[in-house]
């Protein structure tokens, strides 16, 4: 009898460890295709904490979720301008950096970012640029300008990002304006350009995460993409290439943050620290192909990272780009014009 009880107890204990009951859970809300899944498994094995993993596609969708589902998320991965917005709305709690020793690995230029003054609420996860992924077998000229996306000779050959900031942003940039323009005349001009591009039949589809595989499969000539998705596709199809156009673009950073309503704050810190560990950051970069803010990971990767301009762009390319800023005061303008672009026939 005793033996049976001991056996039952040990089965229960084993079950509770596998179910994460021993150390609890961490609820993670990250972009689609933005982590090496082995990293999640390793974290669970090393800590006994179960990872509840959820995905989003755009900052705008993520912010709605965080606002309307208090207590649902422990670690979230917003971009710079979304971090700025979430701090302003009181949606985030300060990070206890004593619990994130690996945050010391962050590159100097990201240690004190504009979007998080005093560097209190976020730890950078990945960064990158916005640019054009193109199929060298389907274009007959060097692609250097955003103008290629608006050229009628690429009719039905262009994928655009289904993302208001990115797409209005690059149209603004092509017209010589800031990606952060608050001028209604400029924003309307950008929207008109996108409406014309759509009405001329140049746009094959507006989409986000599907683009990389469709470009690998040779389904279009040009696509508006984030740099890591470009490098991921180039690895699978060597006919593809990536450029940050000469007019300049957007450079962005996605950070890891803890919502003010997070139920598992301790585990959130452990997860953020784990992802900031150089060997883990390396596993992630080599899988998702975005740029890392992690000095230790860069040292581990050496030339394979530093010699790749898509991952490690030259300083003049970065200097020609702008960060997005929170545009809350003109959000209605952006939403209205974006709606006109999406509804244009």
Q: Which of residues 74-93 bind ligand N2P (CB under 6 A)?
A: 79
Nearer to ligand N2P (CB atom), residue 103 or residue 161: 161
Cβ contact 27:52 at 8 Å: yes
- What are 50's strand-pairing partners? 25
Candidates 30-38, 90-98, 110-118, 328-336 — which segment interacts with ligand N2P by CB under 6 A? Answer: 30-38
Q: Is 52 one of the binding residues for ligand N2P (CB under 6 A)? A: no
Q: Which of residues 245-304 bind ligand N2P (CB under 6 A)?
A: 252, 254
Cβ contact 224:159 at 8 Å: yes
- What are 256's strand-pairing partners? 123
Q: Is 56 one of the binding residues for ligand N2P (CB under 6 A)? A: no
Burial readout 299-331 (b: 16 or more C-beta within 10 A, e: otherwise): ebbeeebeeeebbebeeebbebbbbbbbbeeee
Nearer to ligand N2P (CB atom), residue 154 or residue 324: 324
Q: Is 34 one of the binding residues for ligand N2P (CB under 6 A)? A: yes
Q: Which of residues 165-184 bind ligand N2P (CB under 6 A)?
A: none
Cβ contact 112:119 at 8 Å: yes
Nearer to ligand N2P (CB atom), residue 151 or residue 289: 289
Nearer to ligand N2P (CB atom), residue 27 or residue 291: 291
Neighbours of 166 (CB within 10 A): 23
Spatial separation of the C-alpha atoms in residues 217 and 194, rounded to whole Å: 25
113: Cβ contacts below 8 Å, ≥ 6 apart? 80, 119, 122, 124, 253
Neighbours of 19 (CB within 10 A): 10
Q: Is 32 one of the binding residues for ligand N2P (CB under 6 A)? A: yes
What minimum distance in Å lies between the beta carbon of 253 and ligand N2P? 8
- What are 259's strand-pairing partners? 92
Candidates 10-18, 27-35, 271-279, 330-338 — which segment interacts with ligand N2P by CB under 6 A? Answer: 27-35
What minimum distance in Å lies between the beta carbon of 192 and ligand N2P? 26
Selected binder of ligand N2P within 29, 31, 121, 305 (CB under 6 A): 31
Selected binder of ligand N2P within 56, 226, 271, 338 (CB under 6 A): 226
Selected binder of ligand N2P within 23, 60, 209, 213 (CB under 6 A): 209
Candidates 29-37, 199-207, 214-222, 259-267 — which segment interacts with ligand N2P by CB under 6 A? Answer: 29-37
Q: Is 232 one of the binding residues for ligand N2P (CB under 6 A)? A: no
The site for ligand N2P, by CB under 6 A, has a size of: 10
| DSSP 8-class letter at 237 | -
Q: CA torsion, points 302, 318, 35, 32, in degrees to nearest 10?
A: -160
Nearer to ligand N2P (CB atom), residue 83 or residue 220: 83
Angle CA(202)–CA(150)–CA(56) in degrees, nearest 5? 75
Nearer to ligand N2P (CB atom), residue 84 or residue 229: 229
Nearer to ligand N2P (CB atom), residue 33 or residue 44: 33
What minimum distance in Å lies between the beta carbon of 310 and ligand N2P? 14
**CA dihedral over 307, 308, 314, 315, signed as positive or negative:** negative
Nearest CA to 246 out of 130, 142, 171, 144 is that of: 144
**Which residues here bind ligand N2P, judged by CB under 6 A?**
31-34, 79, 209, 226, 229, 252, 254
């Amino acid at each position: 009898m005793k033996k049976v009880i001991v056996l039952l107890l040990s089965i229960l204990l084993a079950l509770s460890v596998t179910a994460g009951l021993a150390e609890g859970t961490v609820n993670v809300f990250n972009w689609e295709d933005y982590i090496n899944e082995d990293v999640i498994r390793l974290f669970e094995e090393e800590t006994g904490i179960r990872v509840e993993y959820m995905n989003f596609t755009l900052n705008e969708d993520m912010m709605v979720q965080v606002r309307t589902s208090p207590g649902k998320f422990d670690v979230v991965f917003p971009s710079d301008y979304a971090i700025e917005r979430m701090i302003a709305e009181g949606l985030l709690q300060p990070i206890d950096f004593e619990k994130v020793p690996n945050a010391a690995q962050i590159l100097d230029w990201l240690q004190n970012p504009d979007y998080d003054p005093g560097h209190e609420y976020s730890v950078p996860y990945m960064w990158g640029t916005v640019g054009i992924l193109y199929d060298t077998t389907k274009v007959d000229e060097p692609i250097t300008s955003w103008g290629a996306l608006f050229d009628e000779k690429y009719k039905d050959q262009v994928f655009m990002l289904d993302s208001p900031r990115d797409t209005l942003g690059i149209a603004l940039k092509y017209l010589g304006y800031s990606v952060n323009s608050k001028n209604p005349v400029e924003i309307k001009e950008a929207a008109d350009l996108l409406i014309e591009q759509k009405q001329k039949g140049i746009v094959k589809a507006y989409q986000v995460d599907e683009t990389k595989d469709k470009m690998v499969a040779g389904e279009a000539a040009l696509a508006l993409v984030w740099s890591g998705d470009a490098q991921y596709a180039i690895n699978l199809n060597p006919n593809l290439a990536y450029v940050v156009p000469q007019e300049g673009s957007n450079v962005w950073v996605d950070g890891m943050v803890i919502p003010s309503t997070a139920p598992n704050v301790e585990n959130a810190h452990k997860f953020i620290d784990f992802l900031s560990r150089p060997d883990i950051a390396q596993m992630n970069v080599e899988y998702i192909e975005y740029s890392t803010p992690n000095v230790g990971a860069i040292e581990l990767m050496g030339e394979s990272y530093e010699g790749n301009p898509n991952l490690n762009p030259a300083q003049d390319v970065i200097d020609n780009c702008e960060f997005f800023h929170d545009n809350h005061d003109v959000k209605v303008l952006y939403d209205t014009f974006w709606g006109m672009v999406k509804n244009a026939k």
